[in-house]
Amino acid sequence: MNYSPESLEAFLQAVETGSFSAAARKLKKSQSTVSSAIANLEADLGVTLFDRQSRQPALTEQGKHVLPYIQSIVAASERLNEVSVRLAGNVEPRLSFVLSDVWQTTHHESILQRFSQRFPDIEFECLIAEDEDVIDLIQIGRAHVGVLRVQPRYPLDVTVARLQVGAEMAIFIHRQHELAHLPMVEMDTLQTVRQLSLSTFTDPMRNKSGGPMWSSPSLLMLLEMAEQGFGWGILPRWLVEQFGHDVLQELPVAGWPQRIDVDVLWSNKTPPGPAGRWMIDQLRAQN
C-alpha cells in the first residue's frame, strides 16, 4: 500500500503542533487540505488516528501505535534524499553557514581552511545567530547548515546531529563589582543585580532570573555590556578568555559552570548539496 508523503507529513505536523490549523500554517496549506490528507491516511490505514471530539485533536491509541512507524518512514525518506544528493555530485554554487558564538572559533577554523581548498569556486557566507534564530534561518532557507547549542525540541522539518565538541558556559561580572569578591554567590543575590540575558528574534522573552534585565540576540554584545559593568551574564568561557580584555570575573555560583552540548542541523525538505554535506561530515567528525 502506498501512502502519500503529503499525508504522512500532515499527520506528523499535526502531532507536533497539536492542531490541524497549526499544522496547516506550518505547512503553508489550507486547514481543509491538511484535514483531507489526514483523513485519506486514516482511510488507507483503516484506523482512526485522531480523536476529534475535543477542542484540539488528540492521538487515539491506534494513532500512538502508528506514530513511530510513520516517523521511521519519513526519516528513511529523508536519508534517501541525502543519498541522492551525494550521488548526483552537483555541487551547489553557494553555501550559507549559521554559527553560534557558544561554539569556540578554533573548532571551525580548520574546517573552513579545508573547505576553501576543496570548494574554491563556491560562494560562502557565515552568519552568527543563537538558539531559535538558527533554526528559523534554516527553516526559511536563509542558511543551509547551522551549529547551535542543544535545544529541548526541534521542528520536524530539520535534521539534527550531535557534535562531539561541546562548550562551557559560566556566569561573569566586572571585576570591580562587589559580587566579584564574594567566596560564593547565591542565585537570590544575583536576581537583585541586572542580568545581561540572551534574547533571540524568534523568542525575545528569555529572562530566567526574574530580576532586572538588559538583553541582546548577540553573545558578543552581552560580553561588551558586561565589560562596561552593566550587569552579569551567562557567557561561553572561550569567548570571555579570548575577547574579555581581562576585566571580567567568573562568579562562584552553585551548579556553574555548565557544559553545553552542541548540534549541527539542516533542512530535510531542502537538504544541502555535496558541499553542505561535506561540511556536516567534517563537523561531526571533529573531536
Q: How confident is the model at residue 258 (pLDDT cuts 50, 70, 90)?
A: very high
276 and 138 fall within a common domain: yes
Out of 66, 87, 108, a domain closes at: 87
Please give the model's pTM, rounded to 2 decimal places: 0.73
159 and 266 fall within a common domain: yes
CATH of the domain at 231: 3.40.190.290
- Distance, in Å, from the CA atom of 137 to the CA atom of 61, rounded to the nearest integer, reads 36
- Distance, in Å, from the CA atom of 282 to the CA atom of 284, rounded to the nearest integer, reads 5
- Element containing residue 134 per DSSP (H, E): helix 132-139
Residue 170 is predicted with a pLDDT of 97
Q: How confident is the model at residue 186 (pLDDT cuts 50, 70, 90)?
A: very high
Q: Is-contact 60 52, C-beta < 8 A?
A: no
Chain CA centroid to CA 141, Å: 14
- Distance, in Å, from the CA atom of 266 to the CA atom of 269, rounded to the nearest integer, reads 9
Out of 53, 87, 121, a domain closes at: 87
177 and 60 fall within a common domain: no
Out of 87, 102, 128, a domain closes at: 87
241 and 180 fall within a common domain: yes
Q: What is the pLDDT of residues 227-250, one digit of tens each?
A: 999 999 999 999 999 999 999 999
Q: What's the mean pLDDT when you consider all of the chain?
A: 89
Residue 72 is predicted with a pLDDT of 87
Domain count, the chain: 3
Q: Which domain holds residue 219?
A: 167-256
15 and 55 fall within a common domain: yes
Q: How confident is the model at residue 160 (pLDDT cuts 50, 70, 90)?
A: very high
123 and 239 fall within a common domain: no
For the record, the C-alpha cell of 185 comes out as 554567590
98 and 154 fall within a common domain: yes
Which of 173, 169, 175 shows the shortest CA–CA distance to 239?
A: 169
Residue 90 is predicted with a pLDDT of 73
Residue 76 is predicted with a pLDDT of 82
136 and 278 fall within a common domain: yes
Residue 86 is predicted with a pLDDT of 56
81 and 130 fall within a common domain: no
Mean pLDDT of 102-131: 89
The DSSP-derived string for 151-178 is: -S---TTEEEEE-S--EEEEEEEETTSG
CATH of the domain at 155: 3.40.190.10
CATH of the domain at 15: 1.10.10.10
131 and 269 fall within a common domain: yes
User: At CA 171, angle to CA 165 and CA 174, rounded to 5?
Assistant: 125
66 and 15 fall within a common domain: yes
235 and 128 fall within a common domain: no
Q: Is the pLDDT of residue 2 over 80?
A: no
- Element containing residue 81 per DSSP (H, E): helix 61-88
